[in-house]
């Protein structure tokens, strides 16, 4: 049976105890069965890890060792990207009937937005941090490849997944959840990471096209996100919080909000390379005019999501891969706050950026440990589907 993403579905129960993972691996019929339960939301672990590194690169507070530590985290995210990409290829080769059914699942299909965002995050990290180790030419080449692949995949998910939702999936008013944002946010990430490539793009039509295309990606994702966020708000008001496993996905709302602030400030900061002085100043001002009001909503939603998470945790908040929703969205708020702090000079925004980054690192540490324990120690997250 096809699995869901809120809790890796129908896995064979993993034995308890410190040797659970080892027993699981011994019980596999063949090594390739380790990828039988692989779903697209595993790429959220790369997004969450990569943003820890990328957010540190522009953090207003810099101290000795931070950049080196961030580069190590980027390297870990890069290795994860390679490993999960290979695992996904094997999954499609060995379990094609399972993989081909994911797009028809009204939950799993939305998480096809995770792979393109993972590509884009690691690519941006290569340019921001990886160049210290591999050199600028290599880092730039990696970023261009990953940005191109991530952008094409992101545009595909932004079109295909809503199309499937409109024509094939069955959804009720109470079905709306944060995962609905996943396939439409990648173009916003392309806008942010594409802005980083502007200084390295040949001047003229190519650079101008890239900048205005990034603004187009920004608008595409923003409008779709506003619609989905309204649906999520309506679901919460009409049908309340719902299942505990859904609660972490509420944090995904911060993703398009923080990423939009990041995008307009990065694009505005590099606009002088592309357009005349007056237009460049207007675009940089737009970063503040748009960013500060959006920050107000980000702070509001952070408070609401935190209260709902604490309330649910007091009762019971089961661990699943949706806990990675606690990482990347918060990281986008860090990068957005860093951009606003740079262009406004406000100390309070610098402080907020550091506060959000501390929260990001704490969340990442908890989720990474729980994921390692669930996948390697106990083996539950990687257990093959139970035979019918």
Domain chopping of the chain, boundaries:
20-382
Minimum mean pLDDT range among 186-190, 256-260, 349-353, 374-378 = 374-378
Topology adopted by domain 20-382: Glycosyltransferase (1.50.10)
Is residue 381 very low, low, confident or very high in pLDDT (cuts 50, 70, 90)?
Answer: low
Average pLDDT over residues 300-304: 98
Q: How far apart are CA 321 and CA 382, in angstroms?
A: 11
pLDDT digits (tens, 9 = 90+) for 317-332: 999 889 999 999 999 9
pLDDT of amino acid 380: 58
pLDDT of amino acid 384: 56
pLDDT of amino acid 30: 58
3-state secondary structure the chain: CCCCCCCCCCECCCCCCCCHHHHHHHHCCCHHHHHCCCCHHHHHHHHHHHHHHHHHHCCCCCCCCHHHHHHHHHHHHHHHHHHHHHHHHHHHHHCHHHHCCHHHCCCHHHHHHHHHHHHHHHHHHHHHHHHHHHCHHHHHHHHHHHHHHHHHHHHHHHHHHHHHHHHCCCCCHHHCCHHHHCCCCHHHHHHHHHHHHHHHCCCCHHHHHHHHHHHHHHHHHHHHHHHHHHHHHHHHHHHCCCCHHHHHHHHHHHHHHHHHHHHHHHHHHHHHHCCCHHHHHHHHHHHHHHHHHHHHHHHHHHHHHHHHHHHHHHHCCCCCHHHHHHCHHHHHHHHHHHHHHHHHCCHHHHHHHHHHHHHHHHHHHHHHHHHHHHHHHCCHHHCCECCC
pLDDT digits (tens, 9 = 90+) for 142-185: 999 999 999 999 999 999 999 999 998 888 878 899 999 999 99
pLDDT of amino acid 99: 86
Task: Report if pTM > 0.85.
Answer: yes
pLDDT of amino acid 11: 37
pLDDT of amino acid 382: 62
Q: How far apart are CA 94 and CA 263, in angstroms?
A: 39
Residue with the bigger pLDDT between 386 and 244: it is: 244
Computed over its alpha carbons, how large is the radius of gyration of the chain? 20
Is residue 97 very low, low, confident or very high in pLDDT (cuts 50, 70, 90)?
Answer: confident
Res. 24: pLDDT tops 60: no
């Amino acid at each position: 049976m096809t699995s869901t993403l809120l809790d890796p579905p129908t896995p064979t129960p993993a034995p308890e105890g410190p040797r659970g993972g080892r027993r699981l691996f011994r019980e596999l019929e063949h090594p390739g069965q380790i990828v039988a339960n692989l779903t697209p939301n595993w790429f959220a672990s790369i997004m969450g890890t990569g943003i820890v590194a990328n957010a540190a690169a522009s953090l207003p507070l810099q101290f000795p060792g931070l950049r080196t530590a961030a580069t190590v985290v980027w390297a870990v995210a890069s290795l994860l990207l390679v490993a999960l990409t290979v695992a996904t290829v094997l999954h499609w080769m060995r379990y094609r009937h399972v993989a081909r059914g994911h797009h028809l699942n009204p939950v799993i299909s939305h998480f096809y937005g995770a792979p393109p965002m993972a590509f884009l995050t690691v690519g941006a990290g290569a340019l921001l941090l990886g160049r210290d180790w591999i050199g600028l030419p290599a880092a730039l080449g990696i970023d261009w490849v990953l940005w191109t692949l991530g952008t094409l995949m992101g545009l595909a998910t932004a079109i295909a997944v809503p199309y499937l939702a409109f024509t094939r999936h069955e959804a009720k008013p109470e079905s709306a959840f944060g995962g609905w944002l996943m396939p439409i946010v990648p173009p916003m990430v392309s806008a942010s990471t594409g802005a980083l490539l502007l200084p390295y793009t040949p001047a003229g039509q190519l650079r101008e096209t890239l900048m205005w295309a990034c603004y187009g990606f920004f608008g595409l994702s923003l409008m779709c996100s506003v619609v989905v966020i309204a649906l999520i708000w309506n679901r919460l008001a009409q049908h309340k919080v719902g299942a505990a496993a859904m609660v972490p996905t509420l944090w995904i709302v911060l993703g398009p909000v923080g990423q939009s602030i990041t995008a307009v400030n990065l694009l505005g900061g590099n606009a002088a390379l592309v357009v005349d002085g007056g237009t460049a100043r207007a675009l940089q001002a737009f970063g503040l005019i748009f960013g500060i009001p959006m920050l107000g909503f980000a702070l509001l939603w952070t408070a609401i999501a935190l209260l709902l998470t604490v309330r649910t945790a007091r009762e019971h908040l089961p661990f699943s891969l949706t806990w990675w929703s606690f990482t990347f969205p918060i990281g986008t708020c860090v990068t957005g706050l860093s951009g606003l702090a740079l262009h406004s000079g406000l100390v309070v925004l610098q402080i907020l950026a550091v506060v959000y980054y501390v929260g990001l690192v704490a969340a990442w540490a908890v989720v990474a440990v729980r994921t390692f324990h669930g996948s390697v120690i106990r083996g539950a997250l990687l257990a093959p589907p139970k035979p019918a």
